[in-house]
Structure 1
Amino acid sequence: MKRIVLLPLTLLIVFGAFAGELANGSQLYQKHCASCHGVDRAGTVAPPLLPLFLRKYSEKKLIYIIKNGLPATQMPPFPQLSEKEIKSIISYIRKPAKIEWSKEKILSSIQLDSSGEKKLPVKNIKNIVAVVERGHQKVWIMEGTKILDKFVFKNVHGGLKFSPSGERIYIPSRDGWIGRYDIDRGKFYGKVRACVYLRNISLDRRGKYILASCWLPKSIVVLDAESFKPVKVIKQKGLISAIYELYSKDEAVFSFRDKPFIGFMNTKNFSIKYKKIKEPYEDFFIDPFENYIVGTSRKGTLLTVYQINNGKEIFSYSIKGMPHLASATFWYKNGKFYFATPHIGKPYVTIWQMYDWKFIRKVNIKGNGFFVRTHPTTPYLWTDNGKDKIVLIDKNSYGVKTLETQKGKRVIHTEFSGDGNLAYVSLYNRDGALLIYDSITLKLIKKIPASIPIGKYNIINKSRKYAPVLLGREVFMLKCWGCHHQTQEAFAPSFRWIVNHRDKNIIISHIMNPEATYKQLGYERNAMPKLNLSKEELDAVLSYMMEFKDAENN
């Protein structure tokens, strides 16, 4: 009986002491921390202080940060606080909190920049590259090897999005802020806080709305892309993996990390249809022609292909190490389409054939990679392996070679200029650099000092609508180049002439069955071979051809 009585008394004493510590921590927090981190810990000028943000920090590390501050940030030291007081604060900020973020809060967070405009010397908007320099919390606007502008954006991490025209760049931060830079006006336009913890952003295909997937609170927030005003907040019951727009219809697609559903959002009226799947997709991408979703489930040990039209999973393959599908890259060779993906924590990149879905092979890169990229101009997949060399995988033989950078620096993330002539590579160190290579000769053209540079973003390589265009260029080189030129007449009319003088349906008919259409086009005999293109090859080459349509004929 004594033990039965003493145990509750002991627990009451412990819980009472803990409650007292939380109460003291709350008072200390409001006195020393709330002015920057928010009275509700949701963050204002400083990041949120909630369990989701703090789980990577040990108590020892948090004590050190509070006691000594963080250099090169606005976090000051608090040497006057005792270790006991600091531990009380830590207990309090690690306590779960119910976070609300209303339309009113979104509206009140809007900050527009009234400063003047400037003219940037942009030659080709499609070659603009936005570079995230995380160490200095800046974004660079570049073309070629020149930095045209820089601006500060706190807690920037990547995931930048371009408007359909390429003139606007939208910048998210994990703590919910979304900013916009206007290239045509050479200025930072302003920012808005969509939520407390943001997963990623997308735009609808017209560029009218910003779509933000949020973890705190769990929701999809729709903002007017011009005014930043909230249009709709749609509560969700799970943690969204990511949301991506479709270019072929007014729809966006998202999945959950913790629930077996895919959401299809109508981007005109924001209604959502949920489709049940076998297991949650923790990461996914949409294929270049928007017919399939490729996802990873079972904590990254299963790759699955979901066919959108029939709502069924049509292919799955077990593999170790979570595929980093958000960084997958696509290419075409010998009549087939492929994608490659790195695997988190594994020393290989995997190669997969698309549409007649199959696993091709693992390619050993001798280290844990995170990104893989390619472009029609280069014969290689450019990837990283956590070390100081760029790893190049031949797209035909899958042979591997490396490109020296700077000893002891960590290579991460390659991106290309829109035309593919330049490759931008990060040395991911506080005293790092942005390296710019000739993508064909592999010669280093320029090295620009940078502090923790990470993502590079270009509208051609990062906007979904251009994925089939890039693949179409490769189909053109294999199937059409012998007779056609893009802009000049060769043995046959140029692509520019064709798309500006012929109806799209006639173009398709002539490609697929030239014997049936040559008379309709005014030819006395047929000189066009029957190409026997697959549906994907046809879609790709048509997308590429339409890039040469003059504006007045669109």
Structure 2
Amino acid sequence: MLYPAAAVLLNLLFFFLSPVVGEETYNKYCASCHHPQKIGITAPPLLPMTLSKYTDEELTKIIKNGLSSTQMPSFGNLKDEEIKSIIRFLREDIPINWSIKEIRSSLTLNNNIQKKVLNIKNIKNITFVVERGHNKIWIMENEDILDAFDFSNVHGGIKYTLDGKNFYIPSRDGWIGYYKINNKKEGYYVGKIRACINLRNISLSKNGNYLIVSCLLPQTLEILNAKTLEPIKEIQLDGKISAIYELYKSDKAIFTFRDKPIIGILNTKDLSINYIKAEEPIEDFFIDPFDKFLIGTSRKDKKLVVYELEKFKLVFEDKMDSMPHLFSAAFWYKNGKFYFATPHIGKPYISIWQMYDWKFIKNVEIGSPGFFVKTHPSTDYLWVDNGSDAVVLINKNDFSEKFMTIVKGKKFTHTEFNGNGNIAYLSIYDNDGYLILYDTKKLQEIKRYPASYPVGKYNFVNKERSFYPSLFGEEIFKEKCWGCHHQTQEAFGPSFKYIANNRTESQIIAQILDPKNSYKLLGYKRNSMPAFNFNEYEIESIVNYIKSFREDKNDR
């Protein structure tokens, strides 16, 4: 027979330790928003992997007090024992079932579509802005907000088709929203689907038919119809995927694993996969702007690796002190060379690298650790955040730096540019924050919008690698061509607009590389143009830039 005190103690231990008690309390108060399997419905997932950054004390505070500026209410009526049992249940792994059946049933189309008049002047200046505090997505063109709609928990890059008509917005908890623009005149939110429980990133096939979703939970690639969002195929993965990125020159998408030294190549026509062995796991990577190389890194090995994509051969590696955040890398061209810069996790510097004749250039101190580096041909600077109230401006000529305070005492994060590059969008990350627009030449504020925790901005041009050769071409034009040519008006030589609309690509290349022999074929009586000894990347860049002035007879 147990003494009364011992019986009480056993009952309390049973209450604290019993998963059944925690599950029952969770289902009573939490499951209607967070799902019985903790995978989230109208509220985020509450799984061990998504809650690992929170202590039990922090979770207790959230449950008791709620979260301001969200739909999370206060449960101050719960006893301490009940809250502890809920947290214990949240820390437990439970079987999760999320297959094509569940994906299909999650498809939610907007049956009450109200099209918003947009009257877009130039699709290249369209920028999607995430206002996390109010769970809003803004659609902007230059200084104007054209539309806004509700969407929460956005994660990673927004993807879009290159005709500027279809935009896809991913969330951390696996939802993908779909926004459509018709003929640059009107736009509307089509609907959403939940592809998985924990999403890594999304990609689009070259032909625009497939939306490819990389998932950490479950470990799959989900293939959706890009026009209807209907699930087409589920591919099981044996490992934790890092990310997947499409190639724009061929029908392939490349993915890697955090925990396995393997590179996957997805054929985006027949959806088959070929695997290639790597030297080490690749946790973070990007594909270079010309679709030739994979640049990757891993936390364990602390080195940068470069694989040539045609034969998947390792062509360069270099040791470093810490893991770079390659997804946030910035690219530019200067004096015949191509460069990229990347921040480093937990380190107060960015590193500068030369591409194609691969080499490390230098580290540039930024004061404290940052997360994003951005640039554009229309600015002389790399724009870097460092967790403070200032943007760090690093000159692309000599890598000198200066600090420009945006809003004193409030954290600045993440720069984005419009397509033309004359406007920089700067986020003041605060509940009472701002989206601030800066003139990139005068470095002066143009306009500001109140915003609650504005985070990512995604411009139509600057987030798509297929546009990067043209951006490099703009920099080459300023260095090599500006003395004789103008983009849209005749100068000493014909305008790029005239060239784009009256010459074939082969004629353009011949006139650049061998004008002494090509001028007669173009109808000129004499040649006054010097030959340029461009490499393959320079010629592709300047030709892409010239072609960007080609008039579209079927303009949307």
Task: Decide: shared fold, TM above 0.5.
Answer: yes
The CA deviation string for residues 465-502 of structure 1, in whole angstroms up to 9 with x for no partner, is 11111001111222222222222333333222323333
Q: Cα distance, 1:511 vs. partner?
A: 2.2
Q: Cα distance, 1:300 vs. partner?
A: 6.6
The CA deviation string for residues 345-392 of structure 1, in whole angstroms up to 9 with x for no partner, is 111111111111111111111111110111111111111111111110
Equivalent residue number for residue 541 of structure 2: 540
- SS of equivalent to 1:472: helix
Alignment of 1:105-504 (within 5 A): 105-115=102-112, 116-184=114-182, 185-299=186-300, 301-504=302-505
The CA deviation string for residues 23-50 of structure 1, in whole angstroms up to 9 with x for no partner, is 2212222222222211222221221121
Q: Cα distance, 1:533 vs. partner?
A: 0.3
The CA deviation string for residues 111-151 of structure 1, in whole angstroms up to 9 with x for no partner, is 11122212113222211111111111111111222222221
- SS of equivalent to 2:461: helix
Q: 1:183 to 1:219 in 2, by over 3 A?
A: same
Residue type at the aligned position of 1:104 = K
Equivalent residue number for residue 63 of structure 1: 60
Equivalent residue number for residue 516 of structure 1: 517
Q: Cα distance, 1:20 vs. partner?
A: 5.8
Report if aligned partners of 1:134, 1:157 keep a CA contact under 8 Å in 2: no
Report if aligned partners of 2:299, 2:323 keep a CA contact under 8 Å in 1: no
The CA deviation string for residues 188-214 of structure 1, in whole angstroms up to 9 with x for no partner, is 111110100101112223332211110
Q: What is the rounded CA distance, in whole Å, between the counterparts of 1:506 and 1:156 in structure 2?
A: 45
The CA deviation string for residues 293-340 of structure 1, in whole angstroms up to 9 with x for no partner, is 111124372111111112111111111122111011111111111111
Q: Could you list the runs of 5+ residues in structure 2 that have no partner in the other structure?
A: 1-9
Equivalent residue number for residue 25 of structure 1: 22
Q: What is the rounded CA distance, in whole Å, between the counterparts of 2:66 and 2:499 in structure 1?
A: 64
Residue type at the aligned position of 1:31 = K
Q: What is the rounded CA distance, in whole Å, between the counterparts of 1:152 and 1:529 in structure 2?
A: 55
Q: 1:20 to 1:329 in 2, by over 3 A?
A: closer
Report if aligned partners of 1:164, 1:205 keep a CA contact under 8 Å in 2: no
Q: Cα distance, 1:544 vs. partner?
A: 0.9
Equivalent residue number for residue 69 of structure 2: 72
Q: What is the rounded CA distance, in whole Å, between the counterparts of 1:87 and 1:167 in structure 2?
A: 49
Q: Given the alignment, which residue of 44, 47, 51 partners 2:44?
A: 47
Equivalent residue number for residue 3 of structure 2: none
The CA deviation string for residues 411-468 of structure 1, in whole angstroms up to 9 with x for no partner, is 1100101000101111111111111100001011112111111111111111111111
Q: 1:369 to 1:19 in 2, by over 3 A?
A: closer
- SS of equivalent to 1:551: coil
Q: 1:378 to 1:314 in 2, by over 3 A?
A: same
Report if aligned partners of 1:132, 1:157 keep a CA contact under 8 Å in 2: no
Residue type at the aligned position of 2:49 = L
Residue type at the aligned position of 1:254 = F
Q: 1:18 to 1:532 in 2, by over 3 A?
A: farther
Q: What is the rounded CA distance, in whole Å, between the counterparts of 2:489 and 2:68 in structure 1?
A: 58
Q: What is the rounded CA distance, in whole Å, between the counterparts of 2:162 and 2:171 in structure 1?
A: 21
Residue type at the aligned position of 2:266 = M
Q: Cα distance, 1:163 vs. partner?
A: 2.1
Q: Cα distance, 1:553 vs. partner?
A: 9.4
Q: 1:18 to 1:468 in 2, by over 3 A?
A: farther
Q: What is the rounded CA distance, in whole Å, between the counterparts of 1:18 and 1:273 in structure 2?
A: 51
Report if aligned partners of 1:282, 1:299 keep a CA contact under 8 Å in 2: no
Report if aligned partners of 1:201, 1:211 keep a CA contact under 8 Å in 2: yes
Q: What is the rounded CA distance, in whole Å, between the counterparts of 1:313 and 1:223 in structure 2?
A: 33
Report if aligned partners of 2:16, 2:84 keep a CA contact under 8 Å in 1: no
Q: What is the rounded CA distance, in whole Å, between the counterparts of 1:18 and 1:158 in structure 2?
A: 40
Q: What is the rounded CA distance, in whole Å, between the counterparts of 2:301 and 2:42 in structure 1?
A: 36
Q: 1:104 to 1:18 in 2, by over 3 A?
A: same
Q: Cα distance, 1:70 vs. partner?
A: 2.5
Runs of 4+ that moved beyond 4 A:
16-20
Equivalent residue number for residue 5 of structure 2: none
Residue type at the aligned position of 1:338 = Y
Q: 1:349 to 1:300 in 2, by over 3 A?
A: farther
Equivalent residue number for residue 8 of structure 1: none
| TM-score (ref. length: structure 1) | 0.93
Larger mean Cα displacement after TM superposition, 196-205 or 371-380: 196-205
Equivalent residue number for residue 6 of structure 1: none
Equivalent residue number for residue 3 of structure 1: none
The CA deviation string for residues 141-177 of structure 1, in whole angstroms up to 9 with x for no partner, is 1122222222111222442222212233211110000
Residue type at the aligned position of 1:483 = C
Residue type at the aligned position of 1:138 = K
Equivalent residue number for residue 88 of structure 1: 85
- SS of equivalent to 2:105: helix
Report if aligned partners of 1:158, 1:454 keep a CA contact under 8 Å in 2: no
- For these two proteins, the number of residue pairs brought into alignment is 541
Residue type at the aligned position of 1:536 = Y
Residue type at the aligned position of 1:362 = N
Larger mean Cα displacement after TM superposition, 397-406 or 525-534: 525-534
Q: 1:436 to 1:182 in 2, by over 3 A?
A: same
Residue type at the aligned position of 2:27 = Q
Q: What is the rounded CA distance, in whole Å, between the counterparts of 2:15 and 2:549 in structure 1?
A: 69
- SS of equivalent to 1:71: coil
Equivalent residue number for residue 31 of structure 2: 34
Identity of aligned residues (%): 54
Larger mean Cα displacement after TM superposition, 180-189 or 343-352: 180-189
Report if aligned partners of 2:16, 2:81 keep a CA contact under 8 Å in 1: no
Q: Cα distance, 1:523 vs. partner?
A: 3.4
Residue type at the aligned position of 2:532 = L
Q: Could you list the runs of 5+ residues in structure 1 that have no partner in the other structure?
A: 1-12
Q: What is the rounded CA distance, in whole Å, between the counterparts of 2:296 and 2:494 in structure 1?
A: 42
Q: Cα distance, 1:92 vs. partner?
A: 1.7
Residue type at the aligned position of 1:102 = S
- SS of equivalent to 1:403: strand
Residue type at the aligned position of 1:311 = F
Report if aligned partners of 1:300, 1:320 keep a CA contact under 8 Å in 2: no
Q: What is the rounded CA distance, in whole Å, between the counterparts of 1:368 and 1:54 in structure 2?
A: 24
